[in-house]
């Protein structure tokens, strides 16, 4: 008969060791308050655009994050088809999403450069970065939020907005401009 070994120490850590058998192992715990998570079912992604992108004046523009750094569950769409450049996880839960974008050209004093996270095609969260002074040096705007995604139809995308009076160009350097996220808690 198989057995489960429970080992503890004075640090407060308890280790469950499942029997060594071929196939999949199932750990069943009694109903309790809280969440048990297994790292294999926690979607995460990181992507960026591999080329500079022109951002029109006074228009929210979808960022073309076409290069994946990683996508643990193959649920980030890095193409212009379907829900373009979108993270659409298949596991319901709460996700930490970060959208960073860098302006490559500078801007007019007191005008805005906005990094935004859209959920299902509508604005969900945004960070406004103002050009304090007229400058030819770019600035970075970072938006971060926790959002519930239902694991089937919900998706998030990165948008950018600027109101400089003319087009701006984003910086394709993945150090400054990127879109990433990971599950922080199951539904």
Read off the pTM.
0.79
What does the pLDDT look like over 69-81, one tens digit per residue? 999 999 999 999 9
Domain 39-186, classified CATH 1.10.1740.10, yes or no: no
What does the pLDDT look like over 22-32, one tens digit per residue? 665 665 555 55
- CA dist 96 and 118 (Å) reads 13
Rounded mean pLDDT of 12-18? 63
pLDDT at 73: 94
Contact 120, 154 (CB under 8 A): yes
Q: Which residues of 105-153 form beta strands (DSSP E)?
A: 112-119, 122-130, 140-149
- CA dist 136 and 145 (Å) reads 30
Contact 103, 170 (CB under 8 A): yes
Q: How far is CA 22 from CA 14, 25, 120, in A?
A: 24, 8, 41
The domain limits of the chain are: 39-186
Going by pLDDT thresholds of 50, 70 and 90, the confidence category of residue 52 is: very high
């Amino acid at each position: 008969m198989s057995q489960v070994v429970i080992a503890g120490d004075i640090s407060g850590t308890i280790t469950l060791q499942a029997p060594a058998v071929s196939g999949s192992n199932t750990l069943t715990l009694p109903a309790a308050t809280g969440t048990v998570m297994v790292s294999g079912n926690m979607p995460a992604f990181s992507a960026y655009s591999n080329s500079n992108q022109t951002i029109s004046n006074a228009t929210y523009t979808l960022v073309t994050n076409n290069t994946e750094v990683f996508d643990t569950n193959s649920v980030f769409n890095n193409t212009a088809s379907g829900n373009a450049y979108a993270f659409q996880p298949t596991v319901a839960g709460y996700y930490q999403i970060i959208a960073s974008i860098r302006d490559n050209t500078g801007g007019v004093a007191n005008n805005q450069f906005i990094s935004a996270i859209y959920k299902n095609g509508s604005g969900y969260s945004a960070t406004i970065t103002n050009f304090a002074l007229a400058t030819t040096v770019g600035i970075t705007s970072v938006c971060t939020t926790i959002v519930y995604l239902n694991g089937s139809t919900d998706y998030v995308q990165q948008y950018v907005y600027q109101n400089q009076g003319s087009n701006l160009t984003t910086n394709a350097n993945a150090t400054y401009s990127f879109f990433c996220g990971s599950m922080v808690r199951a539904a």
